[in-house]
């Protein structure tokens, strides 16, 4: 059972990171240690060559990591990215992109997460990302 609901996460996103909501990011599913997010297609996210830009996919992957962490620790706005790596695997066609995130390890102060990105309705991944989040101590959580 996740420590927060989809609705609570989406409200936190809207309150703390409105740019993500403006981009259309939405949490589709949340389980304890797992999350699925979707970035709806917008022509402004295309780069030369007609593919979804790397920064758009990176934003989606990082937001999915955040959702995975909060599914396990609850609404801690000050949990932050400390490391982010991404491998672009295939050229995604113009269209929605989904992110499937899973926890690798959750410790007291750090969480390690992996996220796989897909073009919607395509089984082959377009990117794979790993990252680390810093979790503030209990007394500093806001």
> Is the pLDDT confidence value at 122 over 80?
yes
Q: pLDDT tens, 58-70?
A: 999 999 999 999 9
> For residue 63, is it within any domain?
yes
- Measured at the CA of 33, the angle between CA 117 and CA 119, to 5 degrees, comes to 15
> pTM for this structure?
0.94
> For residue 50, is it within any domain?
yes
* Residue 70, domain extent: 6-140
> Is the pLDDT confidence value at 130 over 70?
yes
Q: Look up the CATH number of the domain holding residue 120.
A: 3.10.129.10
Band of residue 136 on the pLDDT scale cut at 50, 70, 90: very high
> For residue 85, is it within any domain?
yes
Q: How many domains does the chain have?
A: 1
> For residue 57, is it within any domain?
yes
- The pLDDT mean for the chain works out to 94
> Is the pLDDT confidence value at 142 over 70?
no
> For residue 1, is it within any domain?
no
Average pLDDT over residues 72-80: 93
DSSP-assigned states of every residue in the chain? --SS-HHHHHHHHHHH-HHHHHTT-EEEEEETTEEEEEE---GGGEETTTEE-HHHHHHHHHHHHHHHHHHHH-S-TT-EEEEEEEEE-S-PPSS-EEEEEEEEEE-SSEEEEEEEEEETT-SSEEEEEEEEEE---GGG--
């Amino acid at each position: 059972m996740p420590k927060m609901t989809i609705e609570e996460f989406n409200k936190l996103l809207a309150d703390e990171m409105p740019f993500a909501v403006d981009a259309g990011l939405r949490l589709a599913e949340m389980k304890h240690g797992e999350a699925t997010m979707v970035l709806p297609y917008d022509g402004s996210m295309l780069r030369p060559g007609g593919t979804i830009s790397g920064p758009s996919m990176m934003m989606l992957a990082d937001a999915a990591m955040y959702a995975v962490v909060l599914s396990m620790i609850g609404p801690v706005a000050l949990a932050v990215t400390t490391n982010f790596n991404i491998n672009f695997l295939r050229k995604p066609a113009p269209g929605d992109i989904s992110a499937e995130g899973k926890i690798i390890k959750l410790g007291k102060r750090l969480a390690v997460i992996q996220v796989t990105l897909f073009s919607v309705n395509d089984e082959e991944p377009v990117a794979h990302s790993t990252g680390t989040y810093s979790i503030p101590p209990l007394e500093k959580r806001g």
